[in-house]
Structure 1
Amino acid sequence: MRNYELAFIISPNIDDEGATNVVEKVSDFVKAIDGEVASVDVWGRRTLAYPINNHREGTYVRLETKMPPGSLDDLERNLKLSEDVIRYLLINMDS
C-alpha cells in the first residue's frame, strides 16, 4: 500500500449536500478497491484560476489515502466518468 493525495474539483452545479454525497462516493470507491481514506479535507467553493468546461468555480476536496498501486487505473477511470468531478489530481506521496 502506498500513500496518495487525491485532489478533485466538484462541479458548481452540485449543491453542498450533493458535494458531500460526491465525497462519500469517492471515499467508498477508494475503500472498494482495498484502499483506506486517512483524511478528508473539503476546502469549499472557490473561484477557478481559469474556466474548466465553462465553469468558473467549483468545490475543492483533498483526500489522503492508502491504496495498492494496481488499483489506480480503476480510480482514475471512475473519476473521469463522473459528471460531478470536473478535474482531479492524484499524487504519490511516497516518492
Structure 2
Amino acid sequence: MREYETMFILNPDLEDDITEEIVENIKNTIDESKGEISNIDKWGTKKLAYELDDHKAGYYTVINFNGKGETVDELERVYRLNDNILRFIILRDEQ
C-alpha cells in the first residue's frame, strides 16, 4: 500500500452535524475500500483565495491514509457525487 494525502473543502454554510456526517462518510469510504487512516486534521472554516460556487470561505479537512489504487478511485467517486464538496485533491506521498 502507498501513502496518500487528501484535502477537501466543504460548503461553509452547512450545519455542524452535516459537516461531521460528510467527514465520517469520507472516513468510512477509505476504511471500506481497504485503506488505513493515519491522521485527520480538521482545519475548520478558512477564507478562500477566490470564490467557489459563490462561496468566499470553505471548511477544510486533510486526511493522511495508506491505500491502494481502488481506494483512491472510490474516494474520488464519492467526492464527485457530493454537491457539498466544493473542491478536493488526492496526492501520493513520495516518502
Bin of the TM-score, shorter chain as denominator length: over 0.9
Q: 2: CA distance between counterparts of 1:39 and 1:32?
A: 17
Determine what percentage of the aligned residue pairs are the same residue. Answer: 28
SS in 1 for 2:58: strand
**Structure 2: runs of 5+ lacking an equivalent:** none
Q: CA RMSD, aligned part only?
A: 1.2
CA displacement, residues 2-55 of structure 1 (integer Å, 9 cap, x when unaligned) = 100000001122122221111111000011111011111000111111011111
The answer as to 2:90 corresponding to 1:93 is no
SS in 2 for 1:34: coil
The residue that corresponds to 1:62 in the other structure is 62
- Structure-1-length-normalised TM-score: 0.92
The residue that corresponds to 1:10 in the other structure is 10
**Structure 1: runs of 5+ lacking an equivalent:** none
- Structure-2-length-normalised TM-score: 0.92
Q: How many residues align?
A: 95
Q: 1: CA distance between counterparts of 2:10 and 2:56?
A: 12
Q: How far did residue 77 of structure 1 move?
A: 1.2
Q: Where does structure 1 differ by over 2 angstroms across 4 or more consecutive aligned residues?
A: none
The residue that corresponds to 2:25 in the other structure is 25
